[in-house]
Amino acid sequence: MHKFFAFLSRMKFIDRWSLMHSVRKENIMEHSHQAAVIAHALAVIGNTYFGKTYDINAATVAALFHESSEVITGDLPTPIKYFNPEIKAAYKSLEAVANDKLLGMLPEQMRGAYEKVLKPANDSGESKLTKWADKLCAYIKCLEELKMSNNEFKKAKQSLEKELIALSSEEVNVFMKHFVEPFKLTLDELD
């Protein structure tokens, strides 16, 4: 009996913003889907406007699975996760153990395909797109919470905005300029 897919389906129960009071709860499954959609968009932007050669499918799949280890580890808030190098290294090690545990839940013949997804090369362009998409998701979450008058996300929004600008990414800049503003609108305003 292989438990991999049943285990990953638990992602929908893990709240992404447990330390901040959210008007709308978001789980890892929703976040991963949004990150995949945004990573896909960033890859398309890079390839279309800047002559990059991103593997769009690889970027999308990497983003879709980028939080899988959190099914086992839970989500550690960013300020804690990156508080110091020791905590960051320990958490990365914990994520690796969790990903190994997940891979062990698959039939041996399938592990290779999923190992590429759960343990991507950190220096690949697609991996970089996943990190940028993850940061954009956090920024969008802040915008949505602020739209609902939740000022608890005000400082996080300002901090993330600075981080996104500091990336100096052509793809992120285009996304920010052309695609972020609608996230501030209500459903009626989008119509």
Domains of the chain: 4-190 (1.10.3210.10)
The first and second tokens of residue 66, run together, are 């980028």
Confidence at residue 13, expressed as pLDDT on a 0 to 100 scale: 53
* pLDDT at 16 > cutoff 70: no
| % of the chain residues with pLDDT over 90 | 52
pLDDT, tens digit (0-9, with 9 covering 90-100), for 170-186: 999 999 999 999 988 87
Which pTM was predicted? 0.85
* pLDDT at 97 > cutoff 80: yes
- If pLDDT is split at 50, 70 and 90, which confidence band does 12 have? low
Mean local confidence (pLDDT), 29-45: 96
How wide is the angle at C-alpha 167 spanned by C-alphas 161 and 170, nearest 5°?
105
Per the CB < 8 A criterion, the answer to whether 60 and 43 are in contact is: yes
The first and second tokens of residue 78, run together, are 């960013």
